[in-house]
Structures are given as C-alpha cells and as structure tokens.
Amino acid sequence: MKQVFLFISFVVSGVCYSQKNTSLKLWYDQPSGTTWENALPIGNGRLGAMVYGNVDTEIIQLNEHTLWSGSPNRNDNPLALDSLSEIRKLIFDGQQKEAERMANRVILSKRSHGQMFEPAGDLHLSFYGHENFTNYYRELDIEKAVAKTSYKVAGVTYTREILASFPDRVIVIHLTASKPNSISFTAFYSTPLPNVEIKATGSGQLAFSGTTIDHEGIKGMIKYKGIVQIKKQNGSLSRTDTSIVVKNADEATIYISIATNFNNYHDINANENERAASYLNKATPKSFANILKAHVAAYQKYFNRVKLDLGTTEASSLPTNERLKNFNSVNDPQFVALYYQFGRYLLISSSQPGGQPANLQGIWNNKVKPPWDSKYTININAEMNYWPAEKTNLSELHEPFLQMVKEMAVTGQQTAKDMYGARGWMAHHNTDIWRATGAVDGAFWGAWINGGGWTSQHLWEHYLYTGDKTFLTSVYSVLKGAATFYVDFLIEHPTRHWLVINPDMSPENAPKAHQGSSLDAGTTMSNQIIFDVFSSTIRAAEILNKDKAFVDTLKQMRKRLPPMQIGQHGQLQEWLDDVDDPTDDHRHISHLYGLFPSNQISPFRTPQLYSAAKNTLIQRTDVSTGWSMGWKVNWWAKMLDGNHANKLIQNQLTPVDARTRSGGTYNNLFDAHPPFQIDGNFGCTSGITEMLMQSADGTIHLLPALPDIWMTGGYISGLKARGGFEIINMQWKDGKLLKAVIKSTLGGNLRLRTPNEMKLSNGTALKKAIGENKNPFYYVEEISAPIISPQATITMPALKESFMYDIPTQRGQVYTIISK
C-alpha cells in the first residue's frame, strides 16, 4: 500500500495525484430554484428523491420503483401471424413502405404502447423567515450517498442532510441548527397525480395514498401509500388537516416510507399500508446517526470497490456547474473521475437486487407523462444502463435487469407464438414494469424483433464475468428460448440465400432507398445479435453438457447467417444492400453492435471490418444525443483511439443549454438526450472503463486507449475483467504502465496485452503469449470473412505496438507485474 501511495502522490505539470481523493462531491453555491435538473438525486433502488436544496421552501421530489400506471396486461397483436408471409414478401420485393403500412395495422399493438413510470409527489418543508440567507452551500457526497444543504439566517447556521437508506428502506432528512430552538417549519405534500388522499394524522405523521392512473385503456391498479413521520427534539409539534407544523425545535428527523401493492409483473396483491408502516416502524426508533452509519456502510460496500485518479488540477476547486461550463477549455481530469464515479453512484442508487431495473431515468421522474414513459427501450437504452455493471465491480446490481430478462422470457413466449408462430420467446423494442413484449410506437420503430435476443446476452455476460455455473444452469432455458425463436423465425433470403430476419430493421434508421421506411430483411445488427445468441447458447449448452442435437442445429444455421459487408464508401454496411448514405449522421449506429458491446470486430483479428467500422464512425460524426455520444466513447475506446474517445467525453460534458439539438449534461450531471435520459451517464462510465481496460478479444488489454491528456499519470483500482479477474489496481505514468496487480478468482490463463514491456514483480520475465488464449472465458468465435465492395477503399489500421503475455494462474492468487 505504501508503494501505491508514494506513486500516486506526485505533481506533474500542475496536475496533482493523490489517492486521498476528497473531491467526490457535486456541489453548488446556488439552490436549484424551480429547475428539476438542478436538483440532486438520491436513491436506494426502491425509493428515489430529487433534493432541490431550496432555502425557504425545500422540495424533496419522491419516487418509488413500482409506482407505474396500468396493471398486468399484454399488448401483442395476434393479427400479425396471418399477415406475416405477405409482409415478408413485400419486403423481399422492395416494397418496404407498403410492408410498413401493413405492419402498422397488424404488428403494432392495438392496446397499450407501454405504461408509464409515475412520480410519488413532493414533500415541501417551509421555513419561516428564511428568505434572506448567506453562506449558502449544497452538495451530493457520492462517497457517502448523502445530500446536504446549509446556509445562515440571522447568525444561525442551518443544515439539512438527506439520504435514501439502503438497509432501512426509508428516506431520512435530518435538520439541525447551530443554536437551540431555531428549527421551525411546516411540512406538506403535493402531487401531480389525481385522486390522492393527503392527511396529517396524530403525532407528527403525514400520510398520502392513491391508486395510479389508467393509461391507454389499461386500468391503473397500483395502490400506494406514503407515510412521513417527523420526530423533533424540544419545541412543539402540531398539525392542520394536511400539514405538520414544527416550532422552535433543536433538531428534527423526518422519515419517509413509501410502498405499493406490487409483488411482481403479474401479482399486485401486496398490502401497501402494511408495507409502508412496517418499513417506517422499523426505522423510526433509530437515530439519524445510526441510520446514517448503516447506510454509508451498505453503500460503500459497492462504491468503494473502484477508485479512479486521473489527477487533480486547480480547475477542480470550483462548483460543479462552473466546472461543467469550463470543462472544454481547461484541464480538469478530476471532473472525468467524478463523472465516472457518478455513473456508478447512479447505478447503485437506482438498481438494487430485488428491485426494478434502472429505467430511462433510473428511478427519478417528476412527470405524470414522462418522455418515452420513462420505461425500458431495449433497442439500446436499457442495455446501455447495465454496461458498467460488471466491469465496474457492481455485478450484483445487474440482477434487476437479469430478472427482467427472465420475466420477458415468460411473457415473450406468447408473443413469439401468437404473433410469429414461433417457439421460444421474443420482445420488440420496448418493455415496461408489466413486461409487455408487443410492438409499440409505430412499425417504423416498433417492428424490431431483437429485444429478447439482445437482452438475453446480458445473462451470458454475467456468466463470463463471474464464472457462476449455477447461475448459468438457472438461465440456460432463457438463452435457449431466445435462440429457439430465431431457429423458427429465420427464413432464407430469396436471392442471396442467407438465413435472415424478416421483417427486420436497423433500429430507427431508414435508408433513402426504402422510401422512408425502416423495414428490411437481414440487417447487419440483427445478424450480429443472432450470431451472438447462437454462439452463447452453443457455449452454454456445451459447458452444461446439454442439448447436443440443438447445438448442432444452431451451428448449421449460424454458418448460413449473412456475413458482414463492406460497402462502396468503405463503410460497414448497415443493411444487406449497399445503400448507406455517408452523410447520414443518425444517432443509432446499430451495426456497430458488432464492435461494442459485442466483440465480432477487432483491430487484431478482423482488420478490414475494423477499418470499415472506423469509416462508419467517422461518417456518422461525433455530436449527437447523449446516449449516442456515450456509445461512441465505448466505440472509440474499442478503436484504441483514446483521444477521440476523450473528444466524445468533452462533447458529453458540455452544458446542455449551450447547444441546440444535441446532447450534453445538466448542472446535476444528469445526461441530456435531451431531455434527461440516464443511459448516457452509464454509457460514458462504461466507455471510460473501456479506455483503461478491455477484457474481450482474447486478452485483458491494459490501457488500450489512454488519451494524451491522461498520459501524465493515473491510478485505478477494482475493475473486473471477464473470467473472474480483478484488476486490484493499476498505475501508469508518462503513458507507460508502471504496475498492475491482478487477482484471479477462477484460475486459468491470464493473457495480458500491455502498452509497454512488463515483468513479474519478483523480476522474473513474463512468458510471451502465442496462439489462442486457452482460457475458455476468452474464447473468441470466428466469424465469416466479410464481403467487400470493389469500390471500397480500405486503409488497414496502423496499430501501436503492444505486448502480450500469458500467466497461468491459480484461483485466489494475486499477480503483480511491473514495467521492464
């Protein structure tokens, strides 16, 4: 440890490195006012809150993870089956527009287009005579998951702390003052939802209850109950019908418990009153200090696993909104580390085992009709939310998403059967708390078939990181079901004779050649997804020694999928025909799924495709919506181009109102699509990890894409790599990897790729790697050679020199390598 500390406590050209990083705070010298995106998010995976930090009337905007519109429902359109062959024919005949018209009639849901994640109302705290204040300060401490506001009125310093306790399942606010008897306020509740009963009851309690709204013909049936309990020290407590009044107290603690009748997507028979009361009654006997202690310990169990130091400069001394404004014109590497850790903070706060997965807004929403219903878009956004989970050492927090996949594997079976006459299961491009798997929004967006295929790959990824065979056994049928759907649904292309999906689309994009219709057959992204679904199912079956005949079928069919193609503009073709427009800057670049998150395109194994993918990335340009820029950080990291990845981080870390159409970041560091959409936060945290360490493509690649600006030095600890490896820590200086300490939790070959020559810490030389990596977690499927247009110009990548070593490891052992 001493050595580590010595290394990281140095100063290089004004940049200071210190492991004692005390700046993991978002802080401001202004209250939020009325702007929701200025408020600071807290959450425990079940409850979320946005803390405004306003002085005379504080607003705590509340959320509960299961408070959704509607009730258990399905949204399949069974008319699809009868028209399927006609739609397919139209698409194969080049009549996409006509096919889309028909799909709108027969594939699109005639019922719900997905339900909405609903707000749980606002708690207001009105403080008498606090209009004029000085010394204002508010912060979100992401090392502790506590928000704080303080200010001075008439010589008294007032402080509010607020947290969403992980172990106690309540939100707790603690109000203190520097002088006794100073705390006087009125607490009241408001909500944008209709028909809510609000009632102050005896002994400092304010309760609210209601039933969620109907939406698109689906009856709202989530019953919810919130109880706010105020405890005070000295002073007095009274109430009106709908408010609690505290006068002249020394301090006050406010406990907020919210619960619903939701058990799971098909069972809403819980008792919300009993639930809310039981969480509250367990929490209220505890002091704030005790709740705080248990909360911080539970939170840090996750958060402290990863530490990142990219250096600290003078620029870091300003409030967060100022740093955001300045970021593109000053050197503020610590801001990147803060943003990185904020992504991890948001995942811990919005996704806890047993709860709902982080939706488009995580767990934070104040609108009755939120953008895209604040649900789950599974043609990119929901998957992106979980990209950082495994690699940033938050594997357990992947669980809510994996559970959702398992549940869609149940609801999606009927969709596969009723709509497409296929076995297995499928989902279209959206789902919600009811795990609806029908097609929504319009055929242009919704007739996408691969929601099950893509999400199912998260199960396989979880296995690749953890090596947990019990888990793999338990989810095998889900993987198999996703593959089975494709076995039944793929059909032979009439002229090219490959097996293709039809109807198909490359999410939300349409080539000009298709008269504005997105519908097509055999798009590149679909082929890549099916390749992965087949490959992971084959591998899982082989590991579990199951289903030999089925494996054989999958292997035969996999060979007949279309290969990737390089088109006339040197681009990776998005569609089966060479119809890409090199001036198209659409935010979805779905066919680069093969580059990331998948691993079918590699600088080392498939240089032509790699070069084509690079051309595509350049043609599509950088600036786009928030999540698209987040994806691009990952892609440029996979391109081993740290400077370009950093440029995307700069674009993303731009105040949103300085731009017109494109994404950026709000003052509270929420990502802007715009509007707020959390996937960009998570995508960027994943991308920053990919710049520092990648564990696909047969190796653990250390420092694959370090930008010049981070070259001077840095430190990261706790990243996870596939195959159960943990990068306990890693340090670099002047672009050189100095040292890496790696733990093997599963044993097996550790193949490392490093930017400079390394040796073992005891001075022994490392064995140069040759041939395939024998570690099964690093097995790379071979893909078919691409078809290349005669007009395409392909520049082979000029790769920086790197070094590859093999270390045979033992389970539980730690290996330290140092630069040679």
Residues at the interface with ligand FUC (CB under 6 A): 360, 372, 377, 381, 508, 587-588, 625, 627, 673, 677
What whole-number distance in Å separates Cα of residue 656 and Cα of residue 725?
38
What helix, strand, coil percent values describe the chain, rounded to 5?
Answer: 35, 25, 40
Min CB(620)–ligand FUC separation in Å: 14
Tokens, residue 370: 């939120």
Copy the structure tokens of residue 169.
Answer: 């399942």
In degrees, to the nearest 5, what angle opens at C-alpha 423 toward C-alphas 419 and 424? 105
Amino acid code (one letter) for 36: W
Indicate the residue among 587 and 739 with the shorter CB distance to ligand FUC.
587
Q: Which is nearer to ligand FUC, 307 or 586 (CB)?
A: 586
Minimum CB–partner distance for residue 576 and ligand FUC (Å) = 22
* Least Cβ distance, residue 156 to ligand FUC (angstroms): 46
Closest CA to 519 of 7, 46, 93: 93
* Residue placing its CB nearer to ligand FUC in the complex, 525 or 742: 525
Q: Shortest gap between Cβ of 444 and ligand FUC (angstroms)? A: 10
**CA-to-CA distance for 776 and 39, rounded, in angstroms?**
46
Nearer to ligand FUC, 343 or 446 (CB): 446
C-alpha torsion 617→621→627→630, nearest 10: 60
Q: What are 458's two structure tokens?
A: 């998260």
Question: Which residue, 216 or 322, has its beta carbon nearer to ligand FUC?
Answer: 216
- Which lies closer to ligand FUC via its Cβ, residue 95 or residue 526? 526
Q: Provide, rounded to whole angstroms, the least separation between the CB of residue 375 and ligand FUC.
A: 9
Which two structure tokens, joined as six digits, stand for 360? Answer: 């488009």
Burial status of residue 299 (CB atoms within 10 A of its CB: 0-12, 13-18, 19 or more):
buried
Give the separation between CA 758 and CA 726, rounded to whole angstroms.
18
The span from the CA of 621 to the CA of 638, in Å, is 16
Residues 6+ apart with CB under 8 A from 322: none
Smallest separation, CB 388 to ligand FUC (Å): 18
Residue 624 has which token pair?
A: 């786009």
Q: Are 803 and 758 in contact (CB under 8 A)?
A: yes
AA letter at 315: A
In the complex, the smallest distance separating the C-beta of residue 584 from ligand FUC, rounded to whole angstroms, is 14
Tokens of 403: 């559970």
The Cβ-side half-sphere exposure at 658, using a 13 Å CA radius, reads: 15
Report the nearest approach of ligand FUC to the CB of residue 677 (Å).
6
C-beta closer to ligand FUC: residue 170 or 684: 684
DSSP-assigned states of every residue in 507-535: TT---GGGTT---BSS-HHHHHHHHHHHH
d(C-alpha 641, C-alpha 533), whole Å? 29
Closer residue to ligand FUC, CB minimum distance, 341 or 625: 625
Cβ distance to ligand FUC smaller for residue 670 or 778:
670
> Smallest distance from the beta carbon of 425 to ligand FUC, in angstroms?
22
**Torsion 418-420-424-426 (CA) sign:** negative
In the complex with ligand FUC, the residue whose CB is nearer, 360 or 394, is 360
Helix axes 80-92, 399-420, angle to 10 degrees: 90
**What is the spatial distance between Cα 455 and Cα 715, in angstroms, rounded to a whole number?**
33
In 3D space, the residue among 585, 694, 676, 680 whose CA is nearest the CA of residue 639 turns out to be 694
Q: For ligand FUC, give the closer residue by CB, 232 or 632.
A: 632
| Of residues 327 and 372, the one with the C-beta less far from ligand FUC | 372
Interhelix angle 451-466/399-420, rounded to 10 degrees, is 150
Phi, psi torsion values for 732, nearest 5 degrees: -140, 160
- Name which of 468 and 585 has its Cβ closer to ligand FUC: 585
